[in-house]
């Protein structure tokens, strides 16, 4: 019989070679194409990081301008998409809507199915990066019963997303530059994270040669779960449920009790066993944004800070190396911006699209890559004879 390595959850299996993102979990290090996330967060911006992830190098000024023009040119979705949205219930979770709408893009961009054509791959990547914010904003507008707002291409990527979410056609809307910068930073910090569950899903779906829009829809579905991208929504809902600082010990005790089935959302990571470098930047960003908005006394932030302090000095969390992850802080910023919690994971999906599509492109270009096909250890019945229904 064949002999397999048994590795449920792929804790020690490398499924591909990749030159995009490097993580050293013990050191708390995250590099994109060799550049540290801290340096990128300080000096770069989202679309430049997109270019870096997609093409491997930081762009020259001319390359960046050209890339921004190409992305901007694709921000609108096909007008017929509006009908597609109308088929959903208004109270649908925007992630459910996004899985459907992004999957449906495969029907609008059928040419992208020709994945052997490098030009088709390129245009699919640009379309995806350009249209995801539009689709997420439309899902939001639909859920609150407001008219869709078309993209405004004079704004930058993050500012345009805020505009499409918060502008109301009847009123003048001016994007707050502090919020646009904070949104850009959230997007940058989520842009890629090597072979996480949703990226592996995109690669697995793509390994069969499927249409790239369908592959990204698979990634969005995987991201939705609370152990992955859904943690940002779950974390903020947990902070709201805790409500006041005096109730924190109760929740910490519950998280330590295995039988409770409860985990502190926003804590722990499969790879980072020291700290999550994205969380450090995000925490700083949360402090800055709330101070600039004059809401630093936000009770949620007080609960978050105290929860962090208590958990980090608790033996259970120390011994298991459970630290706040990126999603512990991102939700506080998004809440301050006025987003409902249901929009947190769609914002993660927008941000991660460049990671998914960069990894998909890398995989398709890798001629040594085979279809992803794990094996199993069979633990069911051995061969047995069929018994007629009258004799069972």
Residue range at the interface with ligand CMC (CB under 6 A); choices 64-72, 168-176, 288-296, 322-330: 322-330
> By CB under 6 A, is residue 50 in contact with ligand CMC?
no
Shortest Cβ distance from residue 9 to ligand CMC (Å)? 6
Torsion angle, CA of 92/96/102/103, rounded to 10 degrees? -120
Name the residue with tokens 């908005």. 293
Binder among 32, 141, 269, 361 for ligand CMC (CB under 6 A): 269
Shortest Cβ distance from residue 89 to ligand CMC (Å)? 27
3 state SS for 191-241: CCCCCCHHHHHHHHHHCCCCCHHHHHHHHHHHHCCCCCCCHHHHHHHHHHH
> By CB under 6 A, is residue 283 in contact with ligand CMC?
no
> By CB under 6 A, is residue 264 in contact with ligand CMC?
yes
Q: Which residues are catalytic?
A: 269, 327
Task: Give me the phi and psi of 324, to 5 degrees please.
Answer: -60, 135
Shortest Cβ distance from residue 307 to ligand CMC (Å)? 11
Torsion angle, CA of 20/192/200/101, rounded to 10 degrees? -130
Shortest Cβ distance from residue 187 to ligand CMC (Å)? 14
Residue 258 DSSP code: G
The tokens describing 6, both together, are: 């048994």
Binder among 54, 191, 238, 255 for ligand CMC (CB under 6 A): 255
> By CB under 6 A, is residue 205 in contact with ligand CMC?
no
CB nearer ligand CMC, residue 54 or residue 264: 264
> By CB under 6 A, is residue 93 in contact with ligand CMC?
no
CB nearer ligand CMC, residue 296 or residue 314: 314
CB nearer ligand CMC, residue 68 or residue 327: 327
Are 180 and 156 in contact, with CB atoms under 8 Å apart? yes
Residue range at the interface with ligand CMC (CB under 6 A); choices 151-159, 164-172, 240-248, 323-331: 323-331
> By CB under 6 A, is residue 95 in contact with ligand CMC?
no
Binder among 265, 304, 332, 350 for ligand CMC (CB under 6 A): 265
In this structure, how many other beta carbons lie within 10 angstroms of the beta carbon of residue 172? Answer: 6
Name the residue among 94, 98, 97, 125 with its Cα closest to residue 109.
125
> By CB under 6 A, is residue 181 in contact with ligand CMC?
no
The tokens describing 317, both together, are: 């969390």
Q: State which residue has the least CB distance to ligand CMC.
A: 268
Write each residue from 2 to 21 as x if it is in contact with ligand CMC (CB under 6 A), else as -, in one continuous string: -------x------------
What b-and-e string marks burial along 107-118, b requiring 16 or more CB atoms within 10 Å of the CB? Answer: ebbeebbebeee
> By CB under 6 A, is residue 322 in contact with ligand CMC?
yes
**Could you give the strand order of the β-sheet that contains 29-32, starting from the edge strand earlier in sequence?**
21-24, 29-32, 35-36
Residue 380 DSSP code: S
Contact partners, residue 226, CB within 8 Å, separation at least 6: 233, 234, 265
How far apart (Å, rounded) are the C-alpha atoms in residues 268 and 266? 7
Binder among 228, 277, 342, 355 for ligand CMC (CB under 6 A): 228
Residues in the site for ligand CMC, rule: CB under 6 A? 9, 193, 196, 227-229, 231, 255, 263-270, 320, 322, 325-327
């Amino acid at each position: 019989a064949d002999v397999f390595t048994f590795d449920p959850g792929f804790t020690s299996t490398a499924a591909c070679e990749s030159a995009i993102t490097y993580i050293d979990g013990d050191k708390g290090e995250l590099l994109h194409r060799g550049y540290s996330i801290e340096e990128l967060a300080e000096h770069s911006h989202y679309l430049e990081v997109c270019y870096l992830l997609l093409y491997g190098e930081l762009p020259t000024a001319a390359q960046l301008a050209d890339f921004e023009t190409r992305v901007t040119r694709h921000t609108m979705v096909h007008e017929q998409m509006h009908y597609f949205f109308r088929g959903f219930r208004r109270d649908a979770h925007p992630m459910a809507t996004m899985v459907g709408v992004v999957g449906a893009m495969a029907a609008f961009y059928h040419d992208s199915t020709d994945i052997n054509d490098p030009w088709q791959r390129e245009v699919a990547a640009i379309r995806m990066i350009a249209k995801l914010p539009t689709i997420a904003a439309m899902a939001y507008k639909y859920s609150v019963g407001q008219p869709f707002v078309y993209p405004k291409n004079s704004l930058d990527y993050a500012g345009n997303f805020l505009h499409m979410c918060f502008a109301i056609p009847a009123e003048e809307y001016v994007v707050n530059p502090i919020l646009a910068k904070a949104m850009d930073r959230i997007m940058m910090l989520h842009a890629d994270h090597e072979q996480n569950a949703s990226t592996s899903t995109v690669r697995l779906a793509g390994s069969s040669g499927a249409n790239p829009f369908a592959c990204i829809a698979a990634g969005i579905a995987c991201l939705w779960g609370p152990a992955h991208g859904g943690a940002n929504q779950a974390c903020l809902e947990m902070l709201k449920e805790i409500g006041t600082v005096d109730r924190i010990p109760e929740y910490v005790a519950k998280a330590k009790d295995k039988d409770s089935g409860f985990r502190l959302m926003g804590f722990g990571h499969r790879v980072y066993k020291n700290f999550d470098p994205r969380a450090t930047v995000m925490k700083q960003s949360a402090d800055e944004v709330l101070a600039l908005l004059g809401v630093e006394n936000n009770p949620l932030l007080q609960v978050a800070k105290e929860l962090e302090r208590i958990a980090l000095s608790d033996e259970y969390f120390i011994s298991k190396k459970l630290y706040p992850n990126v999603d512990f802080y991102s939700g506080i910023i998004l809440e301050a911006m006025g987003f409902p919690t249901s929009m947190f994971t769609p914002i993660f999906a927008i941000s991660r699209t460049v990671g998914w599509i960069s990894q998909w492109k890398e995989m398709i270009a890798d001629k040594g890559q085979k279809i992803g096909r794990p094996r199993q250890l069979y633990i069911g019945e051995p061969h047995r004879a069929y018994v007629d229904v009258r004799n069972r």
